[in-house]
């Protein structure tokens, strides 16, 4: 199990015997050219004849050589890697569909350019700052994605000072000019939710918001409020929660305890919405007969909730890809492509229905 002979040059090839690492010189020699020629070919630069290029590619292929990311990173002063720091509660991390989807999308954008994604999961703000510093000081990455943007977040400036390129993933209307941003469009989804509830006859529509420090939490709250105002409905009650199931259940109880409880609730995410349904059911309030519920995210479980959850779906994978393309362009000093993100979808399922509120019937 353990190397018997941890050779000083790294035990990595203890097994594969004499075959030492193939380097650019080997390829050059085999193709009968200089190292530079090989380098040129592998960087798609001109200055190599077609026949030489052909021989070089064949030689590299036969030897199974690919440029070492390590050597390349050093000579180019460029890590060919970008970083993502995730700061989350353990609970939220494992329900939130955002990160897995976002990372899957990022991968698509990065792999095309042969960049790597370096990940760091941290629990608190202090570790988060340390993580960005490690990234920058050790030059492990060339740029970072900034997600879960908080109100008054200084990370865009911090990143700039650390010499890291950054792409901010935040709601469109919250995007400042601190850096290049990929705009999420949360407002649209919430607006559609409110309109949907309005069309079902609801007039007392409450909102359970997530952790208030995030700009997207605020964006969703604002969209909810504006939609109500636009429709001429009274602005309902908003309860602050924190995106966890427990907080969603608690907030729901608070709302149902009101003298005039809402007939519909728009939640900041699906987890709180489903916990809300559970809380309502516990006290004999039926969904959707007595209370309509809308979530946000469309987690894979949403169709299987009881009742199936009406919710807002965003194409987070597409954001990830767009963010990655933008960041790579930024790192390479190119003009970032103009990204066109797919529109938000609103998915109507069984947790919303016509109001039975007699007072307004």
- Residues 28-47 touching a copy of itself, rule: CB under 8 A, are none
59 part of the interface to DNA, by CB under 7 A: no
Site pattern 234..273 for a copy of itself (x: CB under 8 A)? ----------xx--xx---------------------x--
281 part of the interface to a copy of itself, by CB under 8 A: yes
Return the residue of 18, 51, 126, 335 that touches DNA, per CB under 7 A.
Answer: 51
Return the residue of 24, 208, 227, 277 that touches a copy of itself, per CB under 8 A.
Answer: 277
Count how many Cα atoms sit within 13 Å of the Cα of residue 69 in the half-sphere of its side chain.
8
* Stretch near a copy of itself under the rule CB under 8 A, chosen from 38-46, 51-59, 175-183, 353-361: 175-183
Return the residue of 17, 18, 51, 177 that touches a copy of itself, per CB under 8 A.
Answer: 177
134 part of the interface to DNA, by CB under 7 A: no
| Smallest distance, a copy of itself to C-beta of residue 2, A | 6
Name the residue nearer to DNA (CB basis): 33 or 149.
33
| Smallest distance, DNA to C-beta of residue 33, A | 4
Cα–Cα distance, 177 to 54 (Å, whole number) = 47
- Residue 137's binding partner among a copy of itself, DNA, none (Cβ under 5 to 8 angstroms by kind) is a copy of itself
- Residue 7's binding partner among a copy of itself, DNA, none (Cβ under 5 to 8 angstroms by kind) is a copy of itself
116 part of the interface to DNA, by CB under 7 A: no
48 part of the interface to DNA, by CB under 7 A: yes
- Residues 69-108 touching DNA, rule: CB under 7 A, are 70-72, 74-77
* Stretch near DNA under the rule CB under 7 A, chosen from 62-70, 121-129, 145-153, 299-307: 62-70
- Residues 44-83 touching a copy of itself, rule: CB under 8 A, are 64-71, 73-74, 76-79, 81
308 part of the interface to a copy of itself, by CB under 8 A: yes
- Residue 140's binding partner among DNA, a copy of itself, none (Cβ under 5 to 8 angstroms by kind) is a copy of itself
285 part of the interface to a copy of itself, by CB under 8 A: no
222: tokens are: 């604002």
Q: Angle 247-218-312 (CA atoms, 0-180°, nearest 5)?
A: 75
HEC sequence for the chain = CCCCCCCCCCHHHCCCCCCCCCCHHHHHHHHCCCHHHHHHHHCCCCCCCHHHHHHHHHHHHHHCCCCCHHHHHHHHCCCCEEEEEEECCHHHHHHCCHHHHHHHHHHHHHHCCCCEEEEEEECCHHHHHHHHHHHHHCCCCCEEEECCCECCCCHHHHHHHCCCEEEEEEEHHHCCCCCEEEEECHHHHHHHHHHHHHHCCCCCEEEEECCCCEHHHHHHHHHHHHHHHHCCCCCCCEEECCCCHHHHHHHHHHHHCCCCCCCEEEECCHHHHHHHHHHHHHCCCCCCCCCEEECCCCCCCHHHCCCCCEEEECCHHHHHHHHHHHHHHHHCCCCCCCCCCCCCEEECCCCCCCCCCHHHC
Name the residue nearer to DNA (CB basis): 72 or 129.
72
Cα–Cα distance, 185 to 206 (Å, whole number) = 21
- Residue 232's binding partner among a copy of itself, DNA, none (Cβ under 5 to 8 angstroms by kind) is none
Contacts of 151 (CB under 8 A, 6+ apart): 212, 213, 214, 215, 218
Name the residue nearer to DNA (CB basis): 8 or 232.
8
Name the residue nearer to a copy of itself (CB basis): 194 or 247.
247
| Site residues, DNA (CB under 7 A) | 8, 21, 23-25, 32-40, 42-43, 46-49, 51-52, 65, 67-68, 70-72, 74-77
């Amino acid at each position: 199990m353990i190397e018997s002979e941890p050779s000083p040059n790294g035990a990595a090839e203890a097994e594969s015997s004499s075959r030492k690492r193939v380097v650019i010189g080997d390829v050059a020699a085999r193709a009968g050219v200089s190292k530079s020629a090989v380098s040129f070919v592998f960087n798609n630069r001109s200055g190599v004849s077609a026949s030489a290029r052909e021989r070089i590619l064949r030689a590299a292929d036969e030897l199974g050589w690919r440029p070492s990311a390590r050597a390349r990173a050093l000579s180019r002063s460029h890590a060919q890697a970008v970083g993502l720091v995730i700061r989350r509660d353990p609970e939220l991390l494992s329900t939130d569909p955002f990160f897995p989807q976002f990372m899957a999308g990022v991968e698509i954008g990065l792999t095309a350019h042969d960049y790597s994604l370096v990940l760091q999961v941290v629990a608190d703000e202090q570790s988060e700052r340390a993580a960005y510093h490690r990234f920058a000081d050790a030059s492990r990455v060339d740029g970072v994605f900034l997600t879960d943007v908080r109100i008054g977040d200084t990370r865009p400036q911090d990143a700039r000072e650390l010499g890291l390129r950054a792409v901010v993933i935040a709601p469109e209307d919250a995007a400042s000019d601190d850096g290049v941003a990929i705009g999420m469009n949360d407002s649209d989804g919430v607006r559609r939710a409110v309109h949907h509830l309005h069309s079902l006859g609801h007039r007392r529509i409450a909102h359970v918001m997530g952790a208030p420090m995030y700009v997207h939490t605020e964006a969703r709250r604002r969209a909810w409020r504006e939609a109500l105002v636009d429709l001429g409905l009274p602005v309902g009650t908003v309860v602050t929660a924190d995106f966890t199931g427990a907080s969603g259940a608690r907030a729901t109880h608070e709302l149902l305890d009101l003298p005039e409880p809402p007939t519909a609730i728009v939640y900041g995410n699906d987890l709180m919405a489903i916990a809300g349904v559970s809380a309502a059911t516990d006290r004999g309030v039926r969904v959707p007969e007595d209370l309509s519920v809308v979530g946000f995210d469309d987690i894979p479980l949403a169709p299987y909730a009881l009742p199936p959850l009406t919710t807002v779906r965003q194409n987070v994978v597409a954001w990830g890809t767009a963010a990655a393309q933008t960041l790579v362009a930024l790192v390479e000093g190119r003009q970032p492509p103009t990204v066109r993100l797919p529109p938000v979808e609103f998915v109507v399922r069984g947790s919303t229905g016509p109001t039975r509120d007699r007072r307004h019937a």
